[in-house]
Amino acid sequence: MTSTPTTSEPVHPNVAAVNAVLEAFGSANRVRILPDAARTAAQAAEALGVSVGQIANSLIFEADGAPLLVLASGAHRVDTAMVAALVEVETVHRATPEFVRDATGQAIGGVAPVGHPARVRTLVDVALAAYDTVWAAGGVPHAVFPTTYDELLRITGGVAAEVA
């Protein structure tokens, strides 16, 4: 199902950055490399043999011009009007691929909750608290890591929120 790169395999810089954050926060979890890309929550859930709700989608939005990361359960669609009210901005809309890469250093389809050039304001979907293990992207479309809701809040500095 998943594997961890060996020391002889080259590690993508984004994966290394995510692992560095996990290590810095004392997490025992590390990024795992999937045999195929998992660019959507459904693809990741299928590859991992878990519920789509256990996938923590890392979605970058533009909130009045600033990046906003919403870690949403794969079973949810983010309500941008609700999120705008929550973060007290006028507009929240899906960011362009260029905006996402500028904010995170990562491409859509593999954006991790951490490992960005600078910390991004983050909301964490309270629905993820229902699962003992949630899975997040590891910085590239072939990479994921297991975590918990509480750990996501801790490593991202995120705020628990209803986003859907």
Record the tokens describing residue 131, joined without a space: 């699962």
CB of 123 closer than 8 Å to CB of 158: yes
Name residue, tokens 């006028």: 90
- For the chain, the C-alpha Rg in angstroms (whole number) is 15
Beta strands at 92-94 and 55-63: parallel, antiparallel or unpaired: antiparallel
Tokens coding 14? 């984004």
User: Is this prediction's pTM over 0.85?
Assistant: yes
Per-residue pLDDT of the chain (164 residues; tens, 9 = 90+): 444 444 456 899 999 999 999 999 999 999 999 999 999 999 999 999 999 999 999 999 999 999 999 999 999 999 999 999 999 999 999 999 999 999 999 999 999 999 999 999 999 999 999 999 999 999 999 999 999 999 999 999 999 999 99
In order of start, what are the domains of the chain with their CATH numbers?
A: 13-161 (3.90.960.10)
Read off the tokens for 70: 């919403």
